[in-house]
Amino acid sequence: MPDGTVDTETIELLRRVSTNTVAGLLIKLGGMRTRTVRNARPLNSARARFVGPAFTVRNVPVREDLTDRASMVGPNSPLYGTVDSVPAGSVIVWDMMGDTSCGAVGDIIMAAFAARGVAGFVTDGAMRDGEAVAGGHLPVFCNGVAPAPSNRSLLAAGVQETIGCGGVMVEPGDIVVADPDGVVVIPRQMAAAVAREGAEQEDIEAWIKARIEAGEPTRGLYPPDDRVRADYRAHVAAVVGAATKV
Amino acid sequence: MPLDKADADALRPISTATITTILLKKGLRNVWIRGARPLRPDQPRIVGPAFTLRFIPAREDLSTTASWSNPVSTRTAIEAMPPDCVVIADAMGVADAGIFGDMLCARMVRRDVAALVTDGVMRDVAGVLATGLPIWSRGIAAPPSVAGLTFVGWQQPVGCGGVAVMPDDVIVVDSDGAVVIPRALLGDVIAEGPEQERSENWIMSEIEKGVPLPGLYPMNAETRARYEASKKAPA
């Protein structure tokens, strides 16, 4: 893993932050407007939430004289051994250059990744064995399904390199956050700040939403002005105070 | 890995159209780089070993003009280019961020780079044309590379215009565009190319004489016998 590995506390905090909040904070904190993976949809919307450090795979177009490198189970592929060595908790980010004519991997390799404790799988291309993968344990975001194997069109070129996936630059160890709305990638040095501020934002927004549902007008309340933020802090202090007394 | 002068000289008369046909017979159907058009119509055919460049999407804090001073930058990559190489720049087909302008092209000329081929676009086109570097690209755009791209490395396997290019593959580029010849197949292309060019020139002369295409192109047995006889006949 490259330098700047993100701590477990940050990962846990991000589990309760939505991709919407993360995408907004990346613009607010870093001016980053290019961090949502395009054309990556959940294969199974009931299994579409994960957070974890990116483990990257890069593909280039296949060439018939290089097919000995194309099978990930063959010793000439840069992917050789990856299935049995990818760290638990990783989110695999698989750059297919948007190619949907073939599937990245199928249900057996996905079962192996799941058994290793991989947290999620993201690609800008398609998957094989769509029904079985959708019913498996590993959440997947992709751009459709296709019966043909990856070596129909693609050749693995590298593992754990800086890649592009769905228009997003992804460095190994960046933090990938996914929920049914999509996939957002946080540069790893921003993960702690996004987690901290994101968790606070989720809390205040839950409180604001309850007030709006109770019939309050949105003006000043959402987005919260200074008065509303002060009210919220008082509310938190009261709740914490009450909890401490018990 | 440089290309032998004898190999380069043998390859230079063979068109990219002929090369794609020969490679197709060897089972390679995807060797022509999509989107790379000649910047000037009169650029000669150029052959040379590939020197690959890889770009990926931009990230706002990394893809800045300051990044041009990084240890991994297009500037340092140019200093690693050997003479007579053909630069293959994988720009992911991005058409709104010019990967190189006149300064970098001028430096490539001074380093004796033979040509630049990209699935992306160039900028500062007037200045680029003035450098004389032969270029095949998707077009022109004013914004700099960092508006949409980040440069991440050189001499890695890349995809350019939908084609896999390995460092030191042999590139031939002419008015039809750029084709990639795997080193292992270079001998086949050099062995079969001249004969295919010769037979096609003969077929063209027959067409000009008014011979109908069926049986001529491709040649049937009778036409082939006439062609073989013509090769033995004094010119």
Residues B154-181 have pLDDT tens digits of 999 999 999 999 999 999 999 999 999 9
Arithmetic mean of pLDDT over chain A? 94
Interface mutation vs chain B, best among A65, A101, A175, most B CBs within 10 Å? A65
List CB contacts (< 8 A) between A31 and chain B.
Answer: 60-61
Tell me if A63 and B163 make a contact (CB, 8 A cut-off): yes
Per-residue pLDDT, averaged over B214-231, amounts to 96
pLDDT higher than threshold 80 for residue B205: yes
- Tell me: cis bond preceding A223? Omega within 30 of 0 counts: yes
pTM, to two decimals: 0.91
pLDDT higher than threshold 50 for residue B82: yes
Q: What is the CA radius of gyration of chain A?
A: 21
Please tell me the predicted confidence (pLDDT) of residue A57: 97
Looking at residue A243, its amino acid is A
Q: Express each pLDDT in A56-72 by its tens digit.
A: 999 999 999 998 887 77
List CB contacts (< 8 A) between B165 and chain A.
Answer: 60
Please tell me the predicted confidence (pLDDT) of residue B227: 97
Please tell me the predicted confidence (pLDDT) of residue A246: 56
The percent of residues above 70 in pLDDT, for chain B, comes to 99
pLDDT higher than threshold 50 for residue B36: yes
Please tell me the predicted confidence (pLDDT) of residue A2: 45
Alpha helix segments (H runs only) across chain B:
5-11, 16-25, 74-79, 102-110, 125-131, 186-208, 221-232
Burial class for B151, CB neighbours closer than 10 Å (0-12, 13-18, 19+): buried
The CA distance from B198 to B207, in Å, is 14
Distance from CA of B157 to the nearest CA of A (A): 6
Nearest-by-CA chain B residue for A158:
B157
Q: Inform me whether the C-beta atom of residue A4 falls under 8 Å from chain B C-beta atoms.
A: no
Arithmetic mean of pLDDT over chain B? 96
The CA distance from A41 to A158, in Å, is 24
Tokens of residue B2, six digits: 């440089």
Interface mutation vs chain A, best among B56, B150, B171, most A CBs within 10 Å? B56
Which residues 6+ apart lie within 8 Å of B96 measured at CB?
Answer: B121, B141, B143, B147, B148
Distance from CA of B178 to the nearest CA of A (A): 15
The CA distance from A38 to B85, in Å, is 35
Please tell me the predicted confidence (pLDDT) of residue A4: 61
- For chain B, the residues whose C-beta falls within 8 A of a C-beta of chain A are 26-31, 56-63, 92, 150, 152, 156-159, 162-166, 180, 182, 184-185
Q: Express each pLDDT in A113-165 by its tens digit.
A: 999 999 999 999 999 999 999 999 999 999 999 999 999 999 999 999 999 99
Q: Express each pLDDT in A155-203 by its tens digit.
A: 999 999 999 999 999 999 999 999 999 999 999 999 999 999 999 999 9
The percent of residues above 90 in pLDDT, for chain B, comes to 94
pLDDT higher than threshold 50 for residue B134: yes
Q: Give the pLDDT band of residue A105 (cuts 50, 70, 90).
A: very high
For A145, which DSSP code?
B
Tokens of residue A170, six digits: 């992804």
Tokens of residue A15, six digits: 């589990």
Residues in chain A: 246
Q: Give the pLDDT band of residue A1 (cuts 50, 70, 90).
A: very low
Beta strands at B149-154 and B46-57: parallel, antiparallel or unpaired: antiparallel
Q: Are A108 and A138 in contact (CB under 8 A)?
A: no
